[in-house]
Amino acid sequence: MSQHNKTDIHVSLRGVTKIFRGADGGASVHALGPIDLDLKRGEFFAVVGPSGCGKSTLLEVLAGLSEVTEGDVRFEGKPIHGEVMDGVGVVFQEDACFPWMTVFDNIAFGLRQTQLTSSEIDKRVEQALAMMGLTPFAKSYPAQLSGGMRQRVCIARTLVLQPRLILLDEPFGALDQQTRLLMGEELLRLWRETGATIFLITHALDEAAMLADRIGVMSARPGRLLDIVETGWGADRDSRIVETEDFGKITAHLWQWLRGESMKAIARSGAAA
């Protein structure tokens, strides 16, 4: 198998297709694919596309939460088979904090069933708290925190497991624009500090353009990759790149692709998307 060097392939998808069989004899839905894609180790990859194009389905396949109908998905060379792989972390759009636990316990949750000792768990949790700026809130309950803080807790919960691949499904979708920009900077910082491969789904073109090394543009359903855009940013970037001319060019390029696809998606969905 491949050598572990800077440009080696971390995740590979070949001919990945997902078809949902209709419930109670209804029509089946060809949601995704076929998709061919390679993610390089340590890169920041974003996916944009119109509503209902299958972005979330793609993420669920990578997470191991959903099985492919056709095709092959590999993480570090090993096939993913409808089971969550070790070393993969997932952050969802919806607030997933357990309201009956403190922030500390929320973050420690995933570690409690491992073989780690209590003090090791405490150490890792405290590191994650510090990394996400949550240390003063360790004993608070999620209900006392804002939406942005709660998402940080969910991210921290993923970080303590020291994942090598982090999947994020529109993690900042429920937040206001300003918070999103700042959280984006946070995410870049984490990416630099952990060196993990990041796979981010977002509907916000500016977010993708600012954060990613490469951006995959998906078509309307059934979702296929229309183009992969290289941003060429340096690894030390922050939100100030939105002021540059190149930034505008990238978002314009993305919108060129997506305008037509988005109209198709809206036309298709008469009922709820």
Residue numbers at the binding site for another protein (CB under 8 A): 63, 65, 84, 89-90, 92, 94-96, 98-101, 109-110, 113, 141, 143, 157, 161
Q: Closer to another protein at the Cβ: 154 or 218?
A: 154
Q: Closer to another protein at the Cβ: 94 or 193?
A: 94
Q: What's the closest the beta carbon of residue 197 comes to another protein, in angstroms?
A: 17
Q: How far is CA 39 from CA 25, 42, 164, 169, in A?
A: 37, 9, 12, 16
Could you give the CA distance from residue 159 to residue 136 in angstroms, rounded to a whole number? 18
DSSP string, 147-209: HHHHHHHHHHHHHTT--SEEEEESTTTTS-HHHHHHHHHHHHHHHHHH--EEEEE-S-HHHHH
Q: Closer to another protein at the Cβ: 20 or 247?
A: 20
Are 200 and 46 a contacting pair, CB within 8 Å? Answer: yes
Q: Closer to another protein at the Cβ: 80 or 229?
A: 80
Q: What's the closest the beta carbon of residue 252 comes to another protein, in angstroms?
A: 35
Q: Closer to another protein at the Cβ: 20 or 109?
A: 109
Question: Around Cβ 35, how many Cβ atoms within 10 Å?
Answer: 23
Q: What's the closest the beta carbon of residue 68 comes to another protein, in angstroms?
A: 17
Q: What's the closest the beta carbon of residue 239 comes to another protein, in angstroms?
A: 28
Could you give the CA distance from residue 144 to residue 156 in angstroms, rounded to a whole number? 17
Q: What's the closest the beta carbon of residue 179 comes to another protein, in angstroms?
A: 20
Could you give the CA distance from residue 69 to residue 84 in angstroms, rounded to a whole number? 17
Are 49 and 219 a contacting pair, CB within 8 Å? Answer: yes
Q: Closer to another protein at the Cβ: 34 or 87?
A: 87
Q: What's the closest the beta carbon of residue 157 comes to another protein, in angstroms?
A: 8
